[in-house]
A and B are shown apart, each in its own frame.
Chain A
Amino acid sequence: MKRHQIIKSWMMAILVAAFISACATTQEEIPTDDGATDQSTTDGSATDGGTDSGADATGLDGSDTGDGTVIVDSTPLTVAEMLEQSEGALANRTIYFEFDSAKLTSESIEILESHGDFIAGNGEVSVRLEGHADERGSREYNIALGDRRAQSVRRVLLFQGASSDQVETVSYGEEQPAVTGHDEESWSKNRRVELIYTVN
């Protein structure tokens, strides 16, 4: 059973990797020629990230055939479908923060690296980062805080190779809470950046 799953996820990984590289032909050429050590590390992790996210996002097939081979025959998913059907890191599109902080946790950074790889690999994708704050403190400070949070997220995406044209930030401060409660449980859900994808 376990073995079957491993094979399945490997097949998925290969499929996704092939897909991503197919989509990102122009971008692929740059790093190989560049050869800078920093760059190649980034690229290395980008490829790894791609496979990771593919592996995490097994739900991409979503068809529950129970048999990996069927997928190879099916038509490749569009980017929109990939987003829609994603699971794991790519499906995780809300990043949370501590009070009065724009620092990303290592867990958030991992999630965002997957997003960054995906965006970098899909030129037709763009993402809007909507920064939010909890209701405490002044509204104008909070909209600045939301901006900083969105900027923190943007930096990771750009580092992974997403182009600045693909990433837009906007802060809503405390104007649009996810939940309306007035306790720490609610506040923790409101201190966030939401990744809103569009496929051009």
Chain B
Amino acid sequence: MPLKKIVPYLFAALLACMLQNAHAALTIEITQGVDGALPIAVVPFDTSRVSHKFPVDLAEIVASDLNRSGVLKAMDRDALPASPHYSNQVQYPRWRNAGQDYLVVGRVLETTAGVYTIEFQLLDVLKKKQLLGRSMRAKKRNLRRQAHQISDFIYEQITGTRGAFNTRIAYVRAQKDAARKYVLQVADTDGFNAQNVLESDEPIMSPRWSPDGKSLAYVSFENTRPEIFIQHLATARRTKVSGFRGLNSAPSWSPDGKFLALVLSKDGSPDIYTLNTTTKRLKRLTRHRSIDTEPVWSVDGREIIFTSDRSGAPQLYRISVDGGKPKRITFEGRYNSAANLSPDGNYIAMVHLDRGQYKIAQYERETGNLTVLTDGSQDASPSFSPNGKMLLYASTRGNNGFLFVVSIDGRAKHKLSDQAGDIREPVWGPFESK
């Protein structure tokens, strides 16, 4: 790579370091630059007509979101040639000379105390015209969510694909010195607005979103052994759905939300079962003395993809929900596990052992091509964004685990990281119903 090309990335990295210091609560570290991403400038929104200091930096949230997509590259704030807030203040040639294809301007008004009106415009610099303009109301506590929604509008307008920034993620945080060692949390897709769902002295594992995004299934050791619970998020009402002798693990919701696939060892070795969550009827799908685990449903709900070491090492297989003989999917490498299916069903993300290191790889079902997307040595728990364009995963570095997002082309990789604790098992929630 010529030096000239590297300089902007060095600058971006430097800026990221500066941003890190400025916002200690959560840092977003650019770990990999993007060639060919569309340049967009997001000007800080005008908040001068708000009576007090406006609590969030909307433009910064939007710029970070767009950067994580890998499709767009937000201009560094220090390099912005001007600070317009309305489209009629924009001098297009200046932005064109600054190499930008798109420009976002906006402003905030205080409607009543604690309720704001946010307006923004997305402008096409080359065509010198507005592509999109919106006005929306938000309460103070929803401002970050509102910023993610702006990101979604912009992303969809430019790419034609629905944005997934205004969705939620769940993950487990382990904290060695805290009163409660394990916390199940739900947060925005940039890691902010984390809320506790469950705190425990004993391990919590395998959170999985219900298809409607209203509940989480997870494994809790609160009774000193692994059992599966379902918890409704809004009410915190929870039920134990599986507490058999031995292993109760790896829950996975069917697309219609009526069944859980799960792993039980009550009949010997770990096998895949399905559980009707209403009738509690249990059906055994696999019978093998090997390990069968990590079930995920196909998009049509007719098949289950799972990990099995029946060949001697973990590989992915698929089986009909009616049972029968499993068919092997992966043959490349000696360790493939933790399958996660893209929303269109065409790709399977997985943990893949690559020259002694565990990385996230993506398998294209039609061609059988396997592409390694990440560069860690202990990467785990891949989870597709609901629009299928990004993958959330955990990467262990030293004694801590961090969350990363990688674009599915592997070109953009960003770390979402909190300062405290060891974060693991992230899972990206569904779109919220409109």
Binding site for B on A (CB under 8 A): 100, 135-141, 143-145, 147-148, 151, 169-173, 175-176, 180, 182
Collect the chain B residues with CB atoms within 8 Å of residue A135's CB: 378, 396
Tell whether, in the assembled complex, residue B338 and residue A140 are in contact, meaning their CB atoms are under 8 Å apart: yes
Can you name the residue of chain A whose Cβ is closest to the Cβ of B270?
A: A144
Taken together as a complex, chains A and B put the C-alpha atoms of A170 and B307 apart, in Å, by 21
Can you name the residue of chain A whose Cβ is closest to the Cβ of B263?
A: A144
**Given A100-B309, A147-B265, A148-B270: A140 and B246 within 8 A (CB)?**
no
**Given A170-B225, A171-B247: A138 and B203 within 8 A (CB)?**
no
Collect the chain B residues with CB atoms within 8 Å of residue A173's CB: 205
**Given A100-B313, A147-B265, A175-B203: A139 and B424 within 8 A (CB)?**
yes
Collect the chain B residues with CB atoms within 8 Å of residue A169's CB: 246
Collect the chain A residues with CB atoms within 8 Å of residue B189's CB: none
User: Which residues of B from 303 to 360 have beta carbons under 8 Å from A?
Assistant: 307, 309, 313-314, 335, 337-338, 351, 353, 358
Taken together as a complex, chains A and B put the C-alpha atoms of A140 and B246 apart, in Å, by 14
Tell whether, in the assembled complex, residue A176 and residue B378 are in contact, meaning their CB atoms are under 8 Å apart: no
Taken together as a complex, chains A and B put the C-alpha atoms of A151 and B246 apart, in Å, by 9
* Distance in Å: Cβ of A37 to nearest Cβ of chain B: 27
Closest 4 CB pairs of A and B: A138-B338, A175-B203, A144-B270, A144-B291
Q: Can you name 5 A-B pairs with beta carbons within 8 Å?
A: A138-B294, A138-B337, A140-B307, A144-B293, A148-B269
Tell whether, in the assembled complex, residue A140 and residue B226 are in contact, meaning their CB atoms are under 8 Å apart: no
Taken together as a complex, chains A and B put the C-alpha atoms of A140 and B265 apart, in Å, by 13
* Distance in Å: Cβ of A95 to nearest Cβ of chain B: 18
* Distance in Å: Cβ of B152 to nearest Cβ of chain A: 31
Query: Per-residue CB proximity of B271-291 to A under 8 Å, as 1/0?
Result: 000000000000000000001
Is B399's CB within 8 Å of the partner chain A? yes
Collect the chain A residues with CB atoms within 8 Å of residue B374's CB: none
Collect the chain A residues with CB atoms within 8 Å of residue B313's CB: 100
Tell whether, in the assembled complex, residue B263 and residue A172 are in contact, meaning their CB atoms are under 8 Å apart: no
Binding site for A on B (CB under 8 A): 203, 205-206, 221, 224-226, 246-247, 249-250, 263, 265, 268-270, 291-294, 307, 309, 313-314, 335, 337-338, 351, 353, 358, 378, 380-381, 396, 398-399, 424-425
Collect the chain B residues with CB atoms within 8 Å of residue A100's CB: 309, 313-314, 335
* Distance in Å: Cβ of B137 to nearest Cβ of chain A: 42
Collect the chain B residues with CB atoms within 8 Å of residue A172's CB: 203, 221
* Distance in Å: Cβ of A104 to nearest Cβ of chain B: 15
Taken together as a complex, chains A and B put the C-alpha atoms of A95 and B268 apart, in Å, by 20
Tell whether, in the assembled complex, residue A143 and residue B249 are in contact, meaning their CB atoms are under 8 Å apart: yes
Collect the chain B residues with CB atoms within 8 Å of residue A148's CB: 269-270, 291
Taken together as a complex, chains A and B put the C-alpha atoms of A176 and B205 apart, in Å, by 12
Collect the chain A residues with CB atoms within 8 Å of residue B378's CB: 135-136, 182
Tell whether, in the assembled complex, residue A137 and residue B205 are in contact, meaning their CB atoms are under 8 Å apart: no
Collect the chain B residues with CB atoms within 8 Å of residue A171's CB: 226, 247
Taken together as a complex, chains A and B put the C-alpha atoms of A138 and B338 apart, in Å, by 6
Taken together as a complex, chains A and B put the C-alpha atoms of A151 and B289 apart, in Å, by 11
**Given A147-B265, A148-B270, A173-B205: A141 and B291 within 8 A (CB)?**
yes
Collect the chain B residues with CB atoms within 8 Å of residue A176's CB: 203
Q: Which of A137, A138, A151, A182 contacts B265 (CB 8 A)?
A: A151
Collect the chain B residues with CB atoms within 8 Å of residue A137's CB: 314, 335, 337, 351, 353, 358, 380
Main SS of chain A's interface residues?
mixed
Taken together as a complex, chains A and B put the C-alpha atoms of A100 and B205 apart, in Å, by 20
Collect the chain A residues with CB atoms within 8 Å of residue B314's CB: 100, 137, 141
Collect the chain A residues with CB atoms within 8 Å of residue B335's CB: 100, 137
Q: Which has the most chain B C-beta neighbours within 10 Å: A140, A143, A176?
A: A140
* Distance in Å: Cβ of B379 to nearest Cβ of chain A: 10
Tell whether, in the assembled complex, residue B399 and residue A140 are in contact, meaning their CB atoms are under 8 Å apart: no
Tell whether, in the assembled complex, residue B265 and residue A141 are in contact, meaning their CB atoms are under 8 Å apart: no
Tell whether, in the assembled complex, residue A140 and residue B269 are in contact, meaning their CB atoms are under 8 Å apart: no
**Given A172-B221, A173-B205, A176-B203: A140 and B398 within 8 A (CB)?**
no
Collect the chain A residues with CB atoms within 8 Å of residue B226's CB: 143, 170-171
Q: Which has the most chain B C-beta neighbours within 10 Å: A143, A171, A173, A180?
A: A143
Taken together as a complex, chains A and B put the C-alpha atoms of A175 and B222 apart, in Å, by 13
Q: Which of A140, A175, A182 contacts B293 (CB 8 A)?
A: A140
Tell whether, in the assembled complex, residue B206 and residue A140 are in contact, meaning their CB atoms are under 8 Å apart: yes
Collect the chain A residues with CB atoms within 8 Å of residue B381's CB: 138-139
Collect the chain A residues with CB atoms within 8 Å of residue B292's CB: 144
Tell whether, in the assembled complex, residue B263 and residue A170 are in contact, meaning their CB atoms are under 8 Å apart: no
Taken together as a complex, chains A and B put the C-alpha atoms of A180 and B203 apart, in Å, by 16
Taken together as a complex, chains A and B put the C-alpha atoms of A143 and B220 apart, in Å, by 13
* Distance in Å: Cβ of A189 to nearest Cβ of chain B: 16
Tell whether, in the assembled complex, residue A147 and residue B205 are in contact, meaning their CB atoms are under 8 Å apart: no
* Distance in Å: Cβ of A172 to nearest Cβ of chain B: 7
Tell whether, in the assembled complex, residue B294 and residue A140 are in contact, meaning their CB atoms are under 8 Å apart: yes
Tell whether, in the assembled complex, residue B247 and residue A139 are in contact, meaning their CB atoms are under 8 Å apart: no
Q: Which of B206, B225, B268, B270 contacts A139 (CB 8 A)?
A: B206
Taken together as a complex, chains A and B put the C-alpha atoms of A52 and B208 apart, in Å, by 50
Tell whether, in the assembled complex, residue A140 and residue B203 are in contact, meaning their CB atoms are under 8 Å apart: no
Can you name the residue of chain B whose Cβ is closest to the Cβ of A102?
A: B291
